[in-house]
Structure 1
């Protein structure tokens, strides 16, 4: 049965709870890049760009849509902004290792050198992380009164529309070559929650060796004119991950928030994630699968991770965890699906979304893998109707939350959201998707566990490429592993039940 959870608690499963005077969820980078450009055009004093990656060559909107005199290529756009406004300063912070490859590209290098000579554009590479960790947050803060926070980096290969067409002229690398369909998400936030994200961004900047920045005082309207407002005067929780280091404590707010929210679900959990490889999230799901009246759980993943190394780490762990959870799912309440285009091409899922009932929606940078729980830096935001400040809006905002979920499923199934909402309301989440997904064209297909060779299985079991934290990277191999905590705790998931001939994983 579900656990009564009062909502996020600062100091436990979130950092701060702040009000948003306006908030919206933005799906896919076509909309995000357009709205980000519009918001930055309203900046008066400071823009902070915090990212895993950044590519100065990408276009934010098409050339024929630029009727404001501003450039469409982001590198030129940033230079244009500071040249136009003598009071504006721009700070760009990105993960140091991830920056190396893109920084050496001629166009990026020229733009970066140009910025280095500009007194009001400052670029910094953030090396304040353990070995093998990354800075994975994707945050934009404008004048400490407006922010974007989610899973979309301003880099190449991210742009796509919600149509996810098989061939789209806008979906190409800066060199003109095409890339495949891509699904992503972020949030737009105005008000005190943006002030808090400004505090976080400035702390990240200082931790990376930058100067201490004073907060921006005063407030003005940076909300993009074309962006519909989905939530008004709503409390939002901010949750983070940060690894333990000599000069900082470990932050596991995101991990705790996932576990608490899975435990609180009554009817259904809908998630989109680039990976499904976290043993702690698997434990939380396992605890719900045996319940007679437990929730339906649907996870939308890409067919495979992006890159050979990630496939060895994440796809093999997903296969092991999914098979183990199936063995503990007597009621058939867990599904993993993959989205496909009209012609059957897989759509890469990069979004990080969790929606529980009509109670909460969270969007951020964290994936359902071990790295996001304890090793990389992450930042998620969550609107939860269980927060006291949201009680008066629970009916209206709950309907918005369900509407976002049904629109996401409708996007994947290429169906009207109204039909999706009606069928799921009548049949339930899994039965509804099963009824709707069988048509030709763009659709969702169920995950099929691949055969794992011995090397892949060993890599998955021992978390060689997806460590849970900086300490685990130093542990002996025999003391770590995908199943180590699960096999030792009474009442937890018995992940070795289907491998009786194996004494140690």
Structure 2
């Protein structure tokens, strides 16, 4: 059951006007006392403060992230190379656990989608799980809808100190505020140089840190099924050596985004805080964001821009996203958002910039990754949430915010701290000392005029003219699919069947080596057929050519069924093989081959999974696959039928998992038959119709093909409508 503060009660949706902006249960989960806070700009400062804080730990260190890499160097430029090796994340955590009796380190790493596999450390469960000290505990966190991610970046030490913001403890994040074009220390664990990287983190203590400890323990319970004990209270008030205190004796708002998942209702405090803080701003709004695709935040800013008297709005964003896929999707969607903002800027109060660093190689650009908002020298938020639809409702996010209320006891000191961070950030991007920014604002009172006066030809802020790649038309991109704001109906359907309690993670055993190698080989085959060179070697044309060579052979039926069986075991995409069979034979023969071959392949995979053994496969396959295994064991026929019609895992891998699960063979075979039947019928009927159309392009065959396609589309429409009705009934 969720604590009341994680899932707040309904609150009147009145408009926020003026101060205070932060209101518990409306736009923040908790409003907690904070004795000291520090603003850490860029990775070098954050990594150094992280090391200093962890070296003060006695009982607990919590780490939650979107990505965590055991090989990242936390400290760089040390006198000896072996000293830097000591401060690689994995080595550092191992050293702390070995030398601090009673210290437990718990790590929640997002159980990432395969789309991000090339960006991440391979086998994190080995590097930060099996290969570490027994008091270093890793869980791959998959307690979220299928298309969501765990995007919070939190570190908590003894419930006394806590970090939050946009920085993960991973590669390609370390940099200094100088953002030199060529810094030899700015290198990945694999030895590759990366462009300048900018981000911001916040360090808090006292009650605010304890609240983030509560949040981590709640997430651990969701992911692991077991609640961690609260660490013993420390009488001292630790603070990491060398970290300056920027704000004292204030209150910190903690705002969350949590998607609807199983029994958990959605939490959208991050979006509400954007709405309230934008509406309250009077003089200026300054925002740094990696992405800007949020329709909701765009509407709030447009509403402000349309007012005759309102704040100046300055947004700093990256020139473009780093990867081609992100450029096509997120930059394409950003074009539409920025077009809306420009059209609403009737009074000339909007400026869009990107940070420019000269002399970078191969057209590289500085990667602005921060998520910061400052308004009127009185409001500051630092967090993990981008200005994207996902961050408003689908991904898990955590933003920390503070405000100084005019006339309040901490007003003037906090105002200086907030404005001081603004001067640091703008000075960094403009390549000038923060004092020049402060002087410019003091002289003319305009944020835009100050920036324009200080912009230069070298390192500076440059006007952003957002554009999508040539191969993308921004006007046809579907944000509800590419940048969804909430879990899709299909996600909730999967969650309904896969609701379970996770098993404890087991340690490494020597007996797992051979199963591990075999499992990795099968996964590698599945990836190679989909993304690697095998996909080019074996395509539909080559398969149909091989099939034609069997025509007339007395062994043709055995050879076709044998090829389907062996292909399934070798992870050849099942759909590709079934389409080839459908094109080679008539509807009745192709259906008999396809259906029988699918069942034979499923039986072979089931037997092979049984040979690998239950325990090794469970400990090696990862949490999402284990969850699938337990669901199949419990739900039997129904679960197998569902899995066969959803893109949960490749056909061959599902067979292996089922063989290593507790599902009875009878239930497995019956569920597979029921689940495969509609797909096999659709493929063989459509394949036969298209084959006739290609061989004999008559009007009769054209109409027959269109009729088959229409039936398939009608069935898909009916299923989509049923899911939508389910969704409306649950709202």
Q: Which moved more, 1:12-21 or 1:417-426?
A: 417-426
Partner of 2:277: 261
Is the Cα contact below 8 Å between 1:2 and 1:265 reproduced in 2? Answer: no
Q: Where does 1:312-391 land on structure 2 (aligned, <5 Å)?
A: 312-343=328-359, 345-386=364-405, 391=408
Encode CA deviations 1:260-303: one digit per residue, 9 max, x unaligned.
00000010000101011101001000111122221011111011
Task: Work out whether 1:21 is the aligned partner of 2:41.
Answer: no
Q: Is the 8 A contact 2:328 2:468 kept in 1?
A: no
1:32-431 equivalences in 2 (<5 Å) = 32-62=46-76, 64=78, 71-97=86-112, 105=122, 109-110=126-127, 112-115=129-132, 118-219=133-234, 220-343=236-359, 345-386=364-405, 391-427=408-444, 428-431=446-449
Query: Are 2:460 and 1:446 equivalent residues in the alignment?
Result: no
Q: Contact 1:56–1:108 at 8 Å: present in 2 too? A: no
1:49, CA displacement in angstroms? 0.4
User: Structure with the greater relative contact order (CA < 8 A, sep ≥ 6): 1 or 2?
Assistant: 1
Q: Distance in 1 between matches of 2:128 and 2:150?
A: 22
How far does the alpha carbon of each residue in 1:109-167 deviate from its partner, in whole angstroms, 9 at most, with x for none? 4453212xx33111000111111100000000000111001110000000100000000
Q: How far off is 1:336 after superposition?
A: 1.5
Aligned-pair distance for 1:464? Answer: 2.6
CA distance in 1, matches of 2:212, 2:369: 22
Query: For the Cα contact (< 8 Å) 2:331–2:466, is it kept in 1?
Result: no
2:336–2:475 contact (8 Å) kept in structure 1: no
Render the CA deviation track for 1:5-40: whole Å, top value 9, x for unaligned.
422111111100001111011000001001100110
**CA distance 1:304–1:68, change in 2 (3 Å):** closer
Which runs of 5 or more residues in structure 2 are unaligned?
1-14, 493-715, 718-731
| Richer in strand (by share) | 1
Report SS of the residue matched to 1:161.
coil
Indicate the residue corresponding to 1:503 in structure 2.
Answer: none
1:495 maps to none
Residues 333 and 479 of structure 2 are in contact (CA less than 8 Å); yes or no, is this contact kept in structure 1? Answer: no
2:59–2:232 CA contact under 8 A, matched in 1: no
* More displaced 10-residue stretch of structure 1: 232-241 or 54-63: 54-63
Match of 2:661 in 1: none
* 1:299-320, Cα deviation, whole Å (9 max, x unpaired): 1101112322222221112111
Q: Distance in 2 between matches of 1:106 and 1:436?
A: 47
Between Structure 1 and Structure 2, which shows a larger proportion of helix residues? 2
- How far did residue 323 of structure 1 move? 1.2
Query: Could you say which residue in structure 2 is the equivalent of 1:467?
Result: 484
Q: For residue 93 of structure 1, give the secondary structure of its aligned residue in structure 2.
A: strand
Q: Does 2:454 align with 1:436?
A: yes
Q: 1:454 to 1:110 in 2, by over 3 A?
A: closer
- Quick check: 1:137–1:377 contact (8 Å CA) kept in 2? yes
Larger Rg: 2
Query: 8 Å contact 1:240–1:252 — kept in the other structure?
Result: yes
Q: Secondary structure at the match of 1:420?
A: helix
Q: 1:415 to 1:211 in 2, by over 3 A?
A: same
Question: What's the TM-score, normalizing by structure 2?
Answer: 0.62
Decide whether the 8 Å contact of 1:102 with 1:108 is kept in 2. Answer: no
Q: Per the alignment, in what secondary structure is the counterpart of residue 211 of structure 1? A: coil
The separation in 2 between residues aligned to 1:226 and 1:207, in whole angstroms, is: 36
Q: Secondary structure at the match of 2:162?
A: strand
Contact 2:16 2:276 survives alignment (8 Å)? no
CA distance in 1, matches of 2:225, 2:120: 19
Query: Quick one: distance in 2 between partners of 1:278 and 1:26?
Result: 26
**Distance change (3 Å), C-alpha of 1:136 and 1:462:** closer
1:481 corresponds in structure 2 to none
- CA distances 1:441-464 after superposition (whole Å, capped 9, x unpaired): 110111113267685324535443
TM-score (norm 1): 0.88
Offset of 1:396 from its aligned partner? 1.4
Distance 2:238 2:79 in 1: 20
CA distance in 2, matches of 1:318, 1:373: 16
| Partners of 1:456 and 1:237 in 2: CA distance | 40
C-alpha contact 1:424 1:433 (8 A) present in aligned 2: no
| 8 Å contact kept, 1:297–1:334 | yes
Who is 1:11 aligned against?
Answer: 25
- Deviation of 1:222 after TM superposition, in Å, equals 3.4
Q: Aligned pair in 2 of structure 1 residues 12, 111: CA closer, same or farther (>3 Å)? A: closer
CA distance in 1, matches of 2:45, 2:276: 31
Q: CA deviation at 1:211?
A: 2.2
RMSD over aligned Cα atoms:
2.5
Structure 1 gaps of 5+ residues are 478-505
8 Å CA contact retained: 1:57, 1:108: no
Alpha-carbon spacing, 1:167–1:367, altered in 2? closer, same or farther (3 Å):
same
- 1:483 is aligned to none
